[in-house]
Amino acid sequence: MDIILASTSATRQSMLRSAGVTPNAVASGVDEAPIKLSFREAGQSSTAAAMALAREKALAVSARHPDALVIGADQILDCEGRWFDKPADLPAAAEHLRKLSARVHRLETAVVCAVAGACRWEHSEAPELKMRPLSDKFIAAYVESESDQILHSVGAYRLEGLGIQLFERIDGDFFTILGLPLLRLLAFLRQSGALPS
């Protein structure tokens, strides 16, 4: 069975390929903003919103590729009830970091697998990260050094790079922080026969 990642995320693709999974990457076409807004207006949790987004992405692509196993994933950064989106530009990234400085945030991360337009498996995890106090000088130097690479992350950081210097504590799975609960996903793929066991 073909495996499709319902995302064009380079990080998620790289994680899967490094683990021996070679998915086709297909953009889901799901408009995330109205889904997030509806969950916020209904007072729903960021956990529920991330799962709904992952589910919508998996089902949208599965409807177009019913013979494949489709992986949908989503991640929402929740800091004290405020949800963060990917920064639009470098000044916005710097503002993200100022707001996250010296605070704990959660990365609500969800993954869903669908086949023939139906969900077959879903899982969520929420690593917690505490950012150390950051000076404006450090933030400016960090943003200049990392440049556009940090615009692909909801928190404006990459733990696999200089972003590790932003933190004083990290509780959770490294792969999940990068955007995919990889160990649990691989276990499901083996259980389902999509990967050898």
Q: Is residue 31 annotated as a catalytic residue, yes or no?
A: no
Give me the DSSP letters along 158-179.
-TTTGGGGGEEEEES-HHHHHT
- All residues at 6 or more sequence positions from 115 whose CB lies less than 8 Å from its CB, including other chains: 1, 62, 66, 68, 69, 70
> How far apart are the C-alpha atoms of 38 and 18, rounded to whole Å?
36
Check the CA dihedral 190-125-75-173 and report its sign.
negative
Instruction: Give the separation between CA 81 and CA 56, rounded to whole angstroms.
Output: 23
Q: Which of 2, 31, 67, 74 is catalytic?
A: 74
- What is the Cα 121 distance to its own chain's centre? 17
CA distance 150 to 69: 30
Q: What one-letter code names the amino acid at 121?
A: W
Q: Where are the beta strands (DSSP E) in 24-100?
A: 24-25, 69-79, 82-84
Tell me the catalytic residues: 74
